[in-house]
Amino acid sequence: MDVRRAAPCAAHNEPAASRPSQTPPPLDREAALFLDVDGTLLDIAPRPELVRIPAGLPQLLDRLGRERGGALALVSGRPLRDIDHLFRPWAGAAAGLHGAERRRANGDRASRRESEADAAAARALAELRPRLAELTRAIPSTWLEDKGGTLALHYRSVPERQPELRQMTEALLADHPDHLRLIDGKMVLEFQPRHHGKDAAIAAFLAEPPFSGRCPVFVGDDTTDEDGFAEVNRHGGWSVRVGSPAPTAAIYSLPSVAAVHAWLAGNPSEKPERRRN
């Protein structure tokens, strides 16, 4: 048995009834750590460019990565360029655009030939861009974030329009069901290539050093993270959902971004909540 893997995974592998709560145990230095960004490391802002980077967070990421020999990756819906801008000077392993972009721990970009699925998804997104732009003009206070590889319709200022917007975006998706999927996130509806996901990004990291042979831990907060939770669960790892109780595949929970920072730093000063199904 791989002792390095067994130690950090041990608490998760116990029967659920034997755990007094769904609070994640102290983070093991031998774990492979995967972290979402918005809603997990950063409090969500009205617009992505308005997020606040807490003092010392890039330094904390650097320390956590060094303790694990580089086995720490940010896994985000943001492009890699945005991740690097937010957390500079930290520049470790990361997956952007829900896994469409990936940088290894050694700094190399994972090379990938454009597949027919990539090309078909790009054509579908190109067809949807003007239609989504027209939708935002028709519904004030909504706006379109064009990430290149995904399209995100934000409605944080008009949450009461969610049912209507969901219906309209589902109608748009109906023209491209084989190439795109629609993710209903926190005040955002995002069109993504169907063949990409945070689960595949995490699996790719786990297949290579320095992540291979370690227990995976993934912390996220939104529906876009559920694929990642399922992936680390398949590996016998720890999945941790951030926020108020909600249906989820995650095994553990933390109530807030502040609680995530405290847990990562090894100082759980904010009491985590037990998940309620």
Q: Catalogue the active-site residues.
A: 36
Phi/psi of residue 142, nearest 5 degrees? -100, 155
Phi/psi of residue 34, nearest 5 degrees? -120, 130
Residue 141: helix, strand or coil by DSSP? coil
Residue 234: helix, strand or coil by DSSP? helix
The span from the CA of 160 to the CA of 148, in Å, is 28
Residue labelled with tokens 């000077």: 89
Torsion angle of C-alpha atoms 35, 60, 29, 199, degrees rounded to 10: 10
A 10 A CB-CB count for 20 gives 7
Q: Please name which of 95, 78, 12 lies closest in space to residue 39, comparing C-alpha atoms.
A: 78
Is residue 58 a contact partner of residue 87, using CB atoms and an 8 Å limit? yes
Q: Is the dihedral of CA 226, 228, 234, 239 positive or negative?
A: negative
